[in-house]
């Protein structure tokens, strides 16, 4: 079955690159690409689009506003957001605004293809995306986001490591965390390195996604920020 994909983004170059790539994936077709413009997006109403990929870099509209616009015009479409500023509360707000899934920036094309297929089929997150993709499977409130554990993998964090992960989720730097916990900066860097090694993440966005999915931290650990 052909998956019909829409691309919405504020960079024409990125949109056209994604359009070409998606049309080469096989069993996927990019049926529309558009900037996050209110008048143009209104024209999308009634179009058959299975999955919308939202990729915003520097638009004047907030990602939350664009998510709401997409869901208003394409209510039956699944919405995959490439979140360039991932935090725990940004994930909560995007889910509340209608996002079906959130994926980190810097993904390679084969990972994007797998993420689109996962949303379309409503299947579990595959192992290769466990640090990249976070799903919201029909939760009505951000605090209801449950653990989405990858199969066959368990990681044990120390109490202090969980505390460090939570504070990083608050967008605190290593220096700020060291000051708050009254420890040396080098100690926090050691914790960060240990956490990265335990999760196999490429960056700390991957760590936050892993910690959320495995219920080490929760969306409601942080106050929600509305843009």
Which ranges in the chain belong to alpha helices (H)? 12-25, 38-42, 63-73, 88-96, 109-121, 159-169, 174-181, 185-199, 204-213
Same domain, 94 and 45: yes
Same domain, 122 and 60: yes
> What are 67-108's pLDDT values in tens digits?
888 888 888 899 999 887 777 777 778 888 889 999 877 778
CATH number, domain containing residue 50: 3.40.50.2300
CATH number, domain containing residue 166: 1.10.10.10
Same domain, 9 and 72: yes
Q: Is residue 60 part of a domain?
A: yes
Q: Spell out the long-range contacts of 100-105 with Cβ–Cβ below 8 A and sequence spacing 24 or more.
A: 100/135, 100/136, 101/133, 101/134, 101/135, 101/136, 102/133, 102/134, 102/136, 103/129, 103/132, 103/133, 103/134, 104/131, 104/132, 104/203, 104/205, 104/206, 104/209
Counted domains in the chain? 2
Which residues 6+ apart lie within 8 Å of 197 measured at CB?
none
Same domain, 115 and 39: yes
Q: Is residue 33 part of a domain?
A: yes
Q: Is residue 103 part of a domain?
A: yes
What is the pTM assigned to this prediction? 0.65
Same domain, 97 and 178: no
Q: Is residue 83 part of a domain?
A: yes
Same domain, 172 and 89: no
Q: Nearest-CA neighbor of 51 among 126, 113, 94, 139?
A: 113
Same domain, 53 and 122: yes
Same domain, 137 and 184: no
Spans of the chain, pLDDT less than 70: 38-43, 59-60, 137-155, 219-227
Same domain, 118 and 190: no
| Residue 145, pLDDT score | 40
Q: Which domain holds residue 169?
A: 159-221
Phi-psi region of 6 (alpha: psi -120 to 50; beta: other; left: phi over 0): beta
Same domain, 101 and 188: no
| Residue 151, pLDDT score | 39
């Amino acid at each position: 079955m052909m998956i019909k994909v829409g691309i919405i983004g504020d960079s024409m170059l990125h949109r056209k690159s994604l359009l070409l790539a998606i049309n080469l994936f096989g069993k996927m077709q990019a049926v529309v690409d558009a900037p996050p413009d209110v008048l143009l997006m209104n024209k999308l109403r009634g179009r058959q689009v299975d999955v919308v990929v939202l990729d915003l870099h520097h638009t004047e509209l907030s990602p939350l506003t664009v998510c709401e616009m997409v869901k208003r015009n394409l209510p039956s479409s699944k919405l995959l957001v490439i979140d360039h500023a991932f935090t725990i509360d940004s994930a909560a707000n995007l889910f509340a605004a209608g996002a079906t899934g959130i994926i980190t920036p810097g993904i390679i094309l084969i990972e994007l293809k797998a993420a689109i297929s996962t949303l379309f089929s409503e299947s579990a997150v595959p192992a290769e995306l466990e640090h990249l993709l976070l799903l919201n499977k029909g939760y009505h409130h951000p605090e209801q986001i449950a653990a989405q554990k990858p199969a066959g993998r368990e990681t044990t964090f120390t109490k202090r490591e969980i505390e460090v992960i939570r504070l990083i989720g608050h967008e605190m730097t290593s220096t700020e965390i060291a000051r708050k916990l009254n420890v040396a900066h080098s100690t926090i860097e050691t914790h960060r390195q240990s956490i990265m090694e335990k999760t196999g993440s490429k960056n700390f966005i991957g760590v936050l996604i892993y910690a959320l999915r495995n219920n080490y931290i929760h969306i409601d650990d942080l106050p929600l920020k509305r843009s």
